[in-house]
Structure 1
Amino acid sequence: MKFLMIIALMLCVIVITEQSASASENVGVRQIAAPSKERGSDLAVTVWYPADSGGKPVSLGESLFFVGTPAMFDAPIAHGKFPLVLLSHGAGLAGNAQALSWIAMPLAKQGFVVAAPTHPGNAGANRSAAETMKLWLRPADITETLNAMSKSAFFKEHLELSEVGVLGLSMGGSTALAIAGARIDPKRLASYCDTDALNASLCEWVKQSGVDLHAMDMALAGRDNEDARIRFAMAIDPAPVDVFEFNTFSRISVPVDLVNLGQPGKIPQTVQATKIAEAIPHATYSTIEDASHFSMFPECKPGAAEIAESEKIGDPICSDGGGRSRNEIHTRLIDMVVAAFARALKPSP
C-alpha cells in the first residue's frame, strides 16, 4: 500500500488555475520533447524562462503533500539571449522535474532558461526501482535535453549556448557530477544495497521490488558521461556519492559547487561531499546546518506530515533541521544557487 500511494502521489500535473499570477508574470513555462535513442522514447522536458506578459496561469508540482509554484504556461519569451541551466531532479516522492519549480522559477526570474527532463522510471505511475538504479542513464538524459534545447525553434535563438551549467539535487546531484566528468564504479553500484547502512529507504524499495543489483547489466555503468559543453556544475546533497570511482573526481575540469544540508558530523555518508570537494580541482563546499535532505522538497501543505505518517511513507518529508522554516531555507538555497550561476555563467563585462 505504501508504494502504491507513493506512485499515485508522484504523478506530476500542470494545474490550470484562476488565481492571480502576479508573483510569476515574468516567468514562462512550457513542455518540449527531447528524443532519446537510449531510452527508446522522448524525454518530457519542463522549461522555465524569462517571459513577457501573456500565457495561462499554472501551478507546477502540486500534490497531496506539497504546494505548487506558479508560472505562466506558454507565455512569450522575453527579448534577448540567456544562459541555460540544466536541472536534474532526485528520486522518490518529489522525484520529478516540476517538483523543483521552487528553485527553477527564481532562476528564470534572474535571467536564466532552466530545462529539466523527467528521468524515466524515477517518478509517476511507471516508477521502477530497476530503472531508477541505472544511474548512468541520467547524465545522458541531460545531454539529450541540451541537444533538444539547442534545436528548439522556440528557444534556440534565445540561448547563450556557450554559457551552460547543470544543477542537481539528491540523485540529480550525482547526475551533475557524472556529466561534469566523474565516473561510476560498477562494483560499488552493484553492492550499494547489500546492507541498509547507506540508504535504508531507497534500498528497502529496491529489495521489495525484487531488484538484485548484482544481477543488473552494468556493462555501461562505468562509461564516460562527460559533456564538454557544460561550463559549471552545482550539486546539492548529491546521492549516492559512494558509487563513484573516487579518483575520477580529480579529472573534473569545470568549476563545481557542492552543498550539504545538515550539521557536519550528522550528514549521511551517501551524500557527504567534503572529500569530493577536496578532490575536485576547482570546487567549493558549503553547508546549510539547519536544513535536512528533505529541505529540497517543495513546501508541505498543512497536515501533510500527518498524512505521510498515516500512509506509512516512512521518510520525514516535512522535517527540516529544527531551525528556520522550509520557506526560509529555500530562500537561502535560492540565493546561493542564483549567485553561483550568475558568477559562473554571467561574466562581468
Structure 2
Amino acid sequence: MNTNLRQFCLSAAIILGFAATADAADFAPAVAEYRAAHKEADRVLEGHVWYPSLSQEPERLLKGSAVWRNISGHLDARIAPGVFPVVMMSHGMYGNSMNQAWLAKRLAADGIIVVQPNHPGTTSFGRDPDQARQLWLRATDLSVSFDQLLTDPRFADHMDPTRVAAAGHSLGGYTVMAAAGARHDVAHFNQSCADDPARPDCAALEMWKVGHSPDDLEALQSDRSDPRLRTVIPLDLGGTQTFAPDSLAKIDIPVLVLGSGRQDMLDQTIESRALVANLQENLVTHVEVEDAGHFDFMGVCVEGGYELLKREEPGDEIVCVKGQDARIAQHDRIYDLIMTHLRATGVVAQH
C-alpha cells in the first residue's frame, strides 16, 4: 500500500474507530512479544506489547515469580478492530518490562496500545555496564520500538501515530524526559554531584562510566527527542540533575509529574520537585501521591515476598513495603491520575 493511500485509510479508520469504540466496554487485555534493532548501534531490543483484544479465551500466565504476583493476559490474541492511542513505557534501573505490566494491562483494557522495551544493560537480567554506559540510547529505544511496531503486520494499522504518550518509572522517568527534549548537561550534573557523590544518580553514572570519553560526551548531550510525543509522564523519576535547566524550560508538551509522597527512596527536592520548577508552569501537573513509595509504581508483591527478599537478598525487601493491599489501592490512584491526564491531553478520547 502506498504512503498516501495508507494514510487515507488510517485517517478513515481513526474516525470509524472513535465511533465504534468510544462507548465500548472494557477490552480483553492481550500481550505479545516484539523485537527491534537500532540502525546506528549494535543494540537489539526485546519487549512486550499490551493491546486491546476481543478474546473470550481464558487469560494465560505470562510471568510467574516468587516475589511478585503472577502476570496473566490473553497471550498473542488478535488485536481488536480499530485504531488506538499508544503509550511507550520505560522501566527503571535494573528493572524490566514486567515492572509496570500492571499498568500496561489496565491501559490495554481501556483501549490503549502499550509498548514496553527492555533497555539493554539496565535490566534485572542483563546488567551490562558497557551497554548501561550508553545512557543516551534509552530514549532512542522508545522511538526504535515504535518505528518497528509501525511496520509490524500485527499492529501497524492499529496504532495512531498522532496520539502518542510516554511514561517511565525512576530511570525510566529520566528516559521519557529525554524523549520529550531534555538534554543531558555534564557540567551541570558534575557540579551537582560534587558535594554528594554517593547520591544514587551520581553513583550509578560513575559506576557505568557514563560520559567518560569524548565520543560518549557528544552522544550523551545529543538531542534524543521524539516529535511524535504529545505528553510524557515521569513516575517518581530519578536523574533530574543530569538535565540542563534551559532544555527543560523549552519542553513544549504537557508533562504529568507523579512523585512519591512517602519519599522512601528518592529525594523529591532534587528530583520531581526540581523537575517541576524548571518546566513551563502552564504545561506541568505535579502530584505527590499521598503515602506512595517509590516501589508502589511497580507490581504487587505476594504474601511472604518481603520475608523472602529479606532472607535471600537483604536490602531488596524495600520493594515489598506496603506491597499488597495498600499497593493495589495506590495503583487505583495512579491509574486514575494517568487516565485523567491522557484524556485531558487528547491522547485518549473523552467519553
* Fold-level similarity (TM above 0.5): yes
Q: Which moved more, 1:274-283 or 1:52-61?
A: 52-61
Q: Is the 8 A contact 2:27 2:109 kept in 1?
A: no
Give the distance between the partners of 1:123 and 1:184, measured in 2 at CA. 22
Aligned in 2, Cα 1:265/1:139: closer, same or farther, shift over 3 Å?
closer
Give the distance between the partners of 2:269 and 2:63, measured in 1 at CA. 26
Pairs within 5 Å for 1:100-111: 100-111=100-111
Residues 100-151 of structure 1 show CA distances to partners (whole Å, capped at 9, x for unaligned) of: 1100000011110001111011114431234334321100001101111211
In the alignment, structure 1 residue 42 sits paired with structure 2 residue 74: no
Residues 32-72 of structure 1 show CA distances to partners (whole Å, capped at 9, x for unaligned) of: 11221344143113100000115673334532211122211
Give the distance between the partners of 2:227 and 2:312, measured in 1 at CA. 44
State the AA in 1 paired with 2:212. Answer: A
Q: Is the 8 A contact 1:191 1:213 kept in 2?
A: no
Give the distance between the partners of 1:125 and 1:244, measured in 2 at CA. 28
Report the counterpart of residue 153 of structure 2 in structure 1.
153
Aligned in 2, Cα 1:111/1:261: closer, same or farther, shift over 3 Å?
same
Give the distance between the partners of 1:261 and 1:124, measured in 2 at CA. 22
Partner-residue secondary structure (3-state), 1:98: coil
Pairs within 5 Å for 1:114-193: 114-188=114-188
Q: Which moved more, 1:268-277 or 1:230-239?
A: 268-277
Q: Is the 8 A contact 1:179 1:226 kept in 2?
A: yes
State the AA in 1 paired with 2:241. Answer: D
Q: Is the 8 A contact 1:55 1:74 kept in 2?
A: no
Give the distance between the partners of 1:275 and 1:213, measured in 2 at CA. 22
Give the distance between the partners of 1:55 and 1:182, measured in 2 at CA. 43
Q: Is the 8 A contact 2:27 2:108 kept in 1?
A: no
Percent identity between the two aligned chains? 28
Give the distance between the partners of 2:208 and 2:152, measured in 1 at CA. 38
State the AA in 2 paired with 1:180. Answer: A
Give the C-alpha shift of residue 190 in structure 1: 5.9
Aligned in 2, Cα 1:89/1:192: closer, same or farther, shift over 3 Å?
farther
Partner-residue secondary structure (3-state), 1:253: coil
Give the C-alpha shift of residue 83 in structure 1: 0.4
Q: Is the 8 A contact 2:238 2:266 kept in 1?
A: no
In the alignment, structure 1 residue 280 sits paired with structure 2 residue 282: no
In the alignment, structure 1 residue 215 sits paired with structure 2 residue 216: no
Aligned in 2, Cα 1:129/1:271: closer, same or farther, shift over 3 Å?
farther
Give the distance between the partners of 1:188 and 1:139, measured in 2 at CA. 20
Pairs within 5 Å for 1:269-348: 269=268, 272-281=271-280, 282-315=283-316, 316-320=318-322, 325-344=326-345, 345-348=347-350
Alignment RMSD: 2.8
State the AA in 1 paired with 2:65. Answer: S
TM-score when scaled to structure 1? Answer: 0.82
TM-score when scaled to structure 2? Answer: 0.82
Q: Which moved more, 1:116-125 or 1:175-184?
A: 116-125
Pairs within 5 Å for 1:10-29: 26-29=28-31
Residues 166-192 of structure 1 show CA distances to partners (whole Å, capped at 9, x for unaligned) of: 111111111111111111112355678
Q: Is the 8 A contact 2:107 2:114 kept in 1?
A: yes
Give the distance between the partners of 1:155 and 1:346, measured in 2 at CA. 18
State the AA in 2 paired with 1:174. Answer: Y
Report the counterpart of residue 7 of structure 1 in structure 2.
none
Q: Is the 8 A contact 1:55 1:76 kept in 2?
A: no
Report the counterpart of residue 97 of structure 1 in structure 2.
97
Give the distance between the partners of 1:141 and 1:177, measured in 2 at CA. 13
Q: Where in structure 2 are there 5+ consecutive unaligned residues?
A: 1-25
Report the counterpart of residue 76 of structure 2 in structure 1.
74
Aligned in 2, Cα 1:270/1:186: closer, same or farther, shift over 3 Å?
farther
Give the distance between the partners of 2:62 and 2:269, measured in 1 at CA. 29
Give the C-alpha shift of residue 198 in structure 1: 1.8
Give the distance between the partners of 1:329 and 1:60, measured in 2 at CA. 23
Give the distance between the partners of 2:312 and 2:265, measured in 1 at CA. 27
Give the distance between the partners of 1:84 and 1:296, measured in 2 at CA. 19
State the AA in 1 paired with 2:307. Answer: E
Give the distance between the partners of 1:61 and 1:252, measured in 2 at CA. 37
Q: What is the aligned residue count?
A: 319
Aligned in 2, Cα 1:307/1:33: closer, same or farther, shift over 3 Å?
same
State the AA in 2 paired with 1:285. Answer: H
Residues 165-221 of structure 1 show CA distances to partners (whole Å, capped at 9, x for unaligned) of: 111111111111111111111235567877454218x83x777xx644463532211
Report the counterpart of residue 199 of structure 1 in structure 2.
200
Give the distance between the partners of 1:214 and 1:175, measured in 2 at CA. 16
Give the distance between the partners of 2:80 and 2:44, measured in 1 at CA. 27
